[in-house]
Amino acid sequence: MSDTKRFTRAEVSSYNQKDNNVIIIHNHVYDVKAFLDEHPGGHEVLVNVVGKDATEDFDDIGHSLDAKELMNKYRIGELVDEEKAPEIIGPQYCNVTVVKKEGFLTAWMLPIFLGIITTVVWQYFFN
Ligand code: HEM
């Protein structure tokens, strides 16, 4: 059993208070209180999304890999499964069309058939 703390969206929005600065990014829950003043993007942008799902805002900036690693430090849990947003990247959302490869026999059927016809016609006219 995982001991990850699970939050509902309602719980996260109720944390929109002075002592808790909790936000949701990609279904994970972060407490950014200790990070507010260190955030290179500024204190204000984070305060504006406290209690909310900031996934879109976070992605819009195109945060670096370093930023994504740094996030782990502030992660306090994740959303309950029923309230998770479908993530865009993942096998279940990739609608890949698989093109069936032709079998060996099917691929050679036409040339072999044409060969036989040519042989028969050749025999008929020239022998
Ligand atoms: C735990 C969550 C977050 C962490 C650890 C984090 C970290 C960082 C870091 C390290 C940078 C410097 C640039 C980079 O390395 O990509 C940055 C820039 C920035 N971040 Fe965040 N960030 C977080 C959440 C957010 C959110 C939710 C928003 C928007 C609501 C945001 C808006 C910005 C902006 C506007 C910049 C400045 C980009 C620029 O100057 O080009 N960040 N962040």
What tens digit of pLDDT does each residue of 19-64 get?
Answer: 789 999 999 999 999 999 999 999 999 999 999 999 999 999 999 9
Write down the pLDDT at residue 53: 97
CB of 41 within 6 A of ligand 1: the answer is yes
Q: State how beta strands 75-79 and 6-7 pair.
A: parallel
Rounded distance from Cα 89 to ligand 1 centre (Å): 21
Which atom in ligand 1 lies closest to the alpha carbon of residue 45? 30
Q: What angle do CA 23, 28, 34 make, to 5 degrees?
A: 45
CB of 45 within 6 A of ligand 1: the answer is yes
Contact (Cβ atoms closer than 8 angstroms) between residue 74 and residue 35: yes
Contact (Cβ atoms closer than 8 angstroms) between residue 49 and residue 57: yes
| pLDDT exceeds cutoff 60 at 121 | yes
Task: Please name the CATH architecture into which domain 6-91 falls.
Answer: Roll (3.10)
CB of 49 within 6 A of ligand 1: the answer is yes
- In the chain, domain spans: 6-91, 92-126
Strand ranges across the sheet with 75-79 = 6-7, 75-79, 28-31, 22-25
Write down the pLDDT at residue 21: 92
